[in-house]
Amino acid sequence: MSLNLVSPSQLKAITFLDTHKSNHPLLTGRFAFKRKDNGVKKIQCSAKSQTPPPAWPGRAVVEPGRKSWDGPKPISIVGSTGSIGTQTLDIVAENPDKFRVVALAAGSNVTLLAEQVKIFKPQLVAVRNESLVNELKEALADVDYKPEIIPGEQGVIEVARHPDSVTVVTGIVGCAGLKPTVAAIEAGKDIALANKETLIAGGPFVLPLANKHNVKILPADSEHSAIFQCVQGLPEGALRRIILTASGGAFRDWPVEKLKEVKVADALKHPNWNMGKKITVDSATLFNKGLEVIEAHYLYGSDYDDIEIVIHPQSIIHSMIETQDSSVLAQLGWPDMRLPILYTLSWPDRIYCSEITWPRLDLCKLGSLTFKNPDNVKYPSMDLAYAAGRAGGTMTGVLSAANEKAVEMFIDEKISYLEIFKVVELTCEKHREELVTSPSLEEIIHYDLWACKYAESLQPSLSGLSPALL
Distance (Å, whole) CA 224 – CA 228: 6
Domains and CATH numbers, the chain: 69-219 (3.40.50.720), 249-285+375-463 (1.10.1740.10)
C-alpha triplet 121, 189, 74: angle, nearest 5°? 30
- Predicted confidence at residue 365, as pLDDT, reads 92
User: Would strands 148-151 and 124-127 be described as parallel, antiparallel, or unpaired?
Assistant: parallel
The answer, yes or no, to whether residue 458 has pLDDT greater than 80, is yes
**pLDDT, tens only, 196-246:** 889 999 999 999 999 999 999 999 999 999 999 999 999 999 999 999 999
- Identify the H or E element spanning 307: strand 307-311
The Cα 417–Cα 5 span in angstroms is 10
Question: What's the Cα-to-Cα distance from 127 to each of 160, 173, 219, rounded to whole Å?
Answer: 13, 15, 25
The overall pTM is greater than 0.85: yes
Per-residue pLDDT reduced to its tens digit, 161-176:
999 999 999 998 878 8
Least confident range of 121-125, 165-169, 298-302, 352-356:
352-356
pLDDT at 381: 97
367: pLDDT strictly greater than 60: yes
Poorest-pLDDT segment among 22-36, 99-113, 183-197: 22-36
Q: CA-to-CA distance for 430 and 425, rounded, in angstroms? A: 9
- Residue 185 near residue 207, CB atoms below 8 Å: no
Region of 466 on the Ramachandran plot (φ > 0 left; ψ -120 to 50 alpha; else beta): beta
pLDDT band with cut points at 50, 70 and 90 for residue 287: very high
Q: What are phi and psi of 288, to 5 degrees?
A: -60, -40
Is residue 8 over pLDDT 50?
A: no
**Amino acid at site 1:** M
